[in-house]
Amino acid sequence: MQLGLIGLGKMGGNMRERVRRAGHEVVGYDRSPDLQDVDSLESLVGALTAPRVVWVMVPAGDPTRETVEALGNLLESGDVVVDGGNSKFTDDQVHADLLATKGIGYVDAGVSGGVWGLENGYALMVGGSKEDVAKVQPIFDALKPPVDAESDSPAGQGAGFVHAGPVGAGHFAKMVHNGIEYGMMQAYGEGYELLTAVDLVEDVPGVIASWTQGTVIRSWLLDLLVRALQEDPGLDDITGWASDSGEGRWTVEQAIEHAVPMPAISASLFARFASRQEDSPTMKAVAALRNQFGGHAVQAAKAREVEDPA
């Protein structure tokens, strides 16, 4: 089938390639002339035969919203727009409502896989009506990881793709996926740090590598940690500075909204915030208080205090 694909960056470019390898025709648009198959949204829409499927793979927020609005003016009834970016799930219903006024369908697709997706396939969490999802299904099938018939995965054919619910459910599921990702990465990180903190363990990269088979904690992320330590055994060339991309925040916000206790994932999010601070106002206040009641002179530098009398 035909697919219109908007946004051909690191993710979109690889997805175009994977869909093409599956035998589909992809017409890609990107602002960058070097990446684009066509030079405008109009040309993209014109190159597709109705009913069209147009996949939007641009940054969440304004870029996605503007693209959806533009498509609303270009597409026609019966076409379907897929938002495969990292949009907040609350944006989805807005986009769906906007397109619905023109009879255009809408599907939100949370996509996981990173740079590995081209080879391994992309996991897809999808929200929308049965009809709209069905129109995109051949593309989903091309993108998703192949299910090995001999695999002992308990998920069977359900691995790598789910129609999670109505519009928004796909991005919600992807958001939670990323929240879990924060927690897992933090857990591995904390364990790694403790190993490095003691002299007793002489081969920390070896311990991490040993965990990749037979253990309860084996995972793809653990494989990646092994890779990272093979490249840089002491992680000396990297700073402990971690960005966050929105989904972790939204996960905790939703937990708060629904009164779900989320101590570990929120701790992981806060650790990222802290990793980006030059200095911590919270800890300035704590240090100031200790100075007040302990009678220490206010400290201008990170000198170790000797005694805490209170």
Active site residues: 174, 181
Structure token digits, residue 198: 């003691």
> Which positions from 223 through 242 interact with a second copy, judged by CB under 8 A?
223-232, 235, 237-242
DSSP 38: B
> Which positions from 263 through 292 interact with a second copy, judged by CB under 8 A?
263-277, 279-292
What is the Cα gyration radius of the chain?
24
> Which positions from 120 through 149 interact with a second copy, judged by CB under 8 A?
120-125, 127, 144-145, 147
Of the candidates 114, 6, 118, 10, the residue with the CA atom closest to the CA atom of residue 53: 6
What whole-number distance in Å separates Cα of residue 77 and Cα of residue 127?
A: 19
> Which range in 19-27, 30-38, 45-53, 206-214 contacts a second copy by CB under 8 A?
206-214
Residue of the chain from 48, 56, 71, 86 that contacts a second copy (CB under 8 A): 86
Closest distance to a second copy from the beta carbon of 84 (Å): 11
Closest distance to a second copy from the beta carbon of 248 (Å): 9
Nearer to a second copy, 52 or 163 (CB): 163
Residue of the chain from 29, 55, 89, 106 that contacts a second copy (CB under 8 A): 89
Q: What sign for the dihedral angle of Cα 92, 97, 99, 105?
A: positive
Nearer to a second copy, 29 or 192 (CB): 192
What whole-number distance in Å separates Cα of residue 14 and Cα of residue 9?
A: 8
> Which positions from 19 through 58 interact with a second copy, judged by CB under 8 A?
none
Element (H, E) at 107: strand 105-112
What whole-number distance in Å separates Cα of residue 12 and Cα of residue 202?
A: 43
Residue of the chain from 42, 46, 50, 155 that contacts a second copy (CB under 8 A): 155
Nearer to a second copy, 29 or 172 (CB): 172
What whole-number distance in Å separates Cα of residue 110 and Cα of residue 180?
A: 14
What whole-number distance in Å separates Cα of residue 25 and Cα of residue 27?
A: 7
Nearer to a second copy, 70 or 180 (CB): 180
Q: Does 94 interact with a second copy (rule: CB under 8 A)?
A: no
Closest distance to a second copy from the beta carbon of 43 (Å): 26
> Which positions from 242 through 261 interact with a second copy, judged by CB under 8 A?
242-246, 249, 251-261
Structure token digits, residue 243: 């960005």
CB 195 within 8 A of CB 234: no
Closest distance to a second copy from the beta carbon of 110 (Å): 10
Q: Which residues pair with 137 in a beta bridge?
A: none
What whole-number distance in Å separates Cα of residue 142 and Cα of residue 25?
A: 12
End-to-end CA distance of the chain: 73
Nearer to a second copy, 34 or 148 (CB): 148
Residue of the chain from 33, 49, 62, 304 that contacts a second copy (CB under 8 A): 304
Residue of the chain from 42, 43, 194, 233 that contacts a second copy (CB under 8 A): 194
